[in-house]
Amino acid sequence: MPTRDDDHTGARIKEQRRLARLTQRQFAERLPYSYSYLNQVECGARPATAAFVAACAKALSIDVTVLTGQPYVTELQRDRLAELVRPIRESLDLYDLGPNPDLIPRPAPQLIAGADRLCAEVRATHLRGAARALPGLIAELTHTAWSTPSTELWQALSSAYRTAHDISVKLGYYDLSTVALDRMDWAAHRASDPCLAAVRQYMRALVYFREGEYRIGQRLIATGHQVIAQNDPSREALAVAGQLHLGGAVIAARAEQQSSVAQHIGEAHRIAQRIGDASDVHWLSFGPANVALHKMSAAVEMCQYDDALKQARHLKLPPRLPTSRRAHFLIERARAEIETGHTDAALKSLVEARHLAPEQTRYHPAARETVTGLVRQSRRTPETLNHMAAWVGL
Lowest mean pLDDT among 44-48, 112-116, 254-258, 295-299: 44-48
For the cut 50, the answer to whether the pLDDT of residue 240 exceeds it is yes
What integer best gives the mean pLDDT of the chain? 92
- Is the backbone peptide bond immediately before 318 cis, with ω within 30 degrees of 0? no
Alpha carbon of 227 to those of 28, 188, 196, 201, 238: distances in Å?
40, 12, 10, 9, 12
CB 141 within 8 A of CB 157: yes
pTM: 0.90
End-to-end CA distance of the chain: 10
Q: What pLDDT score does 335 carry?
A: 95
In the predicted structure, residue 4 carries a pLDDT above the cut 60 = no
The second-level CATH assignment, the architecture, of 1-69 is Orthogonal Bundle (1.10)
Q: How confident is the model at residue 5 (pLDDT cuts 50, 70, 90)?
A: low
pLDDT single digits (tens) 48-63: 998 999 999 999 999 9
394 has pLDDT over 80 = no
Distances (CA, A) of 138 to 107, 153, 166, 203: 14, 11, 14, 20
pLDDT at 127: 93
pLDDT digits (tens, 9 = 90+) for 87-103: 999 999 999 999 999 99
- Helix then strand count (H, E) for the chain reads 22, 0
pLDDT tens across 200-219, in order? 999 999 999 998 999 999 99
State pLDDT tens for residues 294-303: 999 999 999 9
Amino acid at 302: M
For residue 262, pLDDT over 60 is answered with yes
Distance CA 46, CA 97 (A): 50
Query: What secondary structure does DSSP assign to 255-319, as a single string?
Result: TT-HHHHHHHHHHHHHHHHHH--BTTSTT--BSHHHHHHHHHHHHHHTT-HHHHHHHHHH----T
Lowest mean pLDDT among 108-117, 218-227, 266-275, 366-375: 366-375
Q: Which amino acid is at 254?
A: R
Q: What is the pLDDT of residues 365-377, one digit of tens each?
A: 999 999 988 988 8
* Alpha-carbon span 50 to 15, nearest angstrom: 18
Give the start-to-end residue ranges of the domains of the chain: 1-69, 322-394
**In terms of pLDDT, which residue wins out, 171 or 377?**
171
